[in-house]
Amino acid sequence: MASSEREWPLGVAILLVCLLFFLSLATISKETVRKSSAVEGQWIEEQFGHSTLTRINAIADGWYLKSFDRLDKNSLRDWMSEDPAQRKREERLAEQNNVVLTWAKERKLTLLELGFWVLRRIALFKVLIPLWLPLGLLAVFHGWNERAIKQTDFGYTSPVVNHWARSGMTLITVVTILLFFAPVTIPPAVFPMLMAFWSVGAMLAIANIQKRI
């Protein structure tokens, strides 16, 4: 019961963030997205260097072409129904309401801008993984050794620490995923910090796995 009560607010938070993202997609302009993405790219260059930014952009470009190339080339009318009668109704509706058509085209362009922004963040995370991996393995190794030492004496393995460490790792994972899609500028250093906190959580969780009597 207590577990479900703790999970429920987290589920509500995820739902609210998703709703906020789609609301932003429906209202934010492509110019705002482009400017914010450019600022974030400048931060990446300042903190990680021009070569890192070039590599990240190359990775994101490849993913973008595979994911959004068809959407980028096709017109809005290619989204319409393949059924001739339904397509004719949709075309008539579009012709009668240019405001809706213009808004839909604007949303399409905004989606393309947001798509590249998200892919570049994921590319940054991918580039950081090889740098983080030794730290993650070291944290797991240290936690496992600490637990082994506690098993040889009367060292205390805390179920409370284990629980909160695992909860913290879950929260960091969820926050990281949500940050990929957040339509606001995010300092690139946030991702290495989250990776470091996740490693500490893994170390504490492993070190406090309960002993078997």
Q: Is the residue at 80 inside a domain?
A: yes
- Does the pLDDT at position 5 exceed 50? no
Exposed / middle / buried, residue 120 (Cβ in 10 Å: 0-12, 13-18, 19+): buried
Q: What range does the domain containing 117 cover?
A: 2-207
127-175: per-residue pLDDT in tens?
A: 999 989 998 899 989 888 888 877 777 667 788 888 899 989 988 988 8
Place of tokens 């096709």: 74
Judge whether 96 lies within some domain. Answer: yes
**What pLDDT shows up at residue 4?**
45
213 in a structural domain = no
Q: Is residue 150 part of a domain?
A: yes
- Does residue 46 sit within a domain? yes
In tens, the pLDDT along 25-64 reads 777 888 888 899 999 999 999 999 999 999 999 999 999 8
Q: Are 114 and 33 in contact (CB under 8 A)?
A: yes
90 has pLDDT over 80? no
Give the amino acid at 103. Answer: W
**How much is the pLDDT for 29?**
83
Specify the pTM.
Answer: 0.76
